[in-house]
Amino acid sequence: MTDDTTVRSLVVEPGAAPERLDRVLARGFADLSRARLQALARDGFVRCDDVEIRDPSRKVMGGSRIEVVVPAPAPAEPRGEALPLTVVHEDDDLIVIDKPAGLVVHPAAGHEDGTLVNRLIAHCGESLSGIGGVRRPGIVHRLDKDTSGLLVVAKNDLAHQGLSAQFADHGRSGALERAYLALVWGVPEPRAGTISASLARSRHNREKIAVVREGEGRHAVTHYRVEGLPGGDGLTALVRCRLETGRTHQIRVHLSHRGHPLLGDATYGAAFKTKAARLGEAPRAALTALGRQALHAAELGFLHPRTGERLRFASSLPEDFSRLLAALER
* Angle in degrees, 0-180, between the axes of helices 21-28 and 34-42, rounded to the nearest 10: 130
The alpha carbon torsion through 194, 200, 202, 206 (nearest 10 deg) reads 130
Return the sign of the alpha-carbon dihedral for residues 240, 244, 245, 246. positive
Residues taking part in catalysis: 144
- Taking residue 286's Cβ as centre, other Cβ atoms within 10 Å add up to 22
* Cα–Cα distance, 241 to 330 (Å, whole number): 24
DSSP-assigned letter for residue 160: H
Q: CA triplet 83, 85, 89: central angle to 5 degrees?
A: 150
- Residue 118 and residue 79 in contact, taking contact as beta carbons nearer than 8 Å: yes
Question: Which regions of the chain does DSSP assign to beta strands (E)?
Answer: 6-11, 19-20, 46-48, 51-52, 59-60, 65-70, 87-90, 94-99, 138-139, 148-154, 177-185, 192-196, 199-201, 209-211, 221-228, 236-243, 295-303, 310-314
d(CA 210, CA 249): 9
| Angstrom distances, CA of residue 204 to CA of 37, 218, 256, 268, 271 | 42, 18, 17, 14, 17
Q: Which residues of 246-277 are buried (b: 16+ CB within 10 A; e: fewer)?
A: bbebbbbbbbbbbebbbbbbebbbeebeeeee
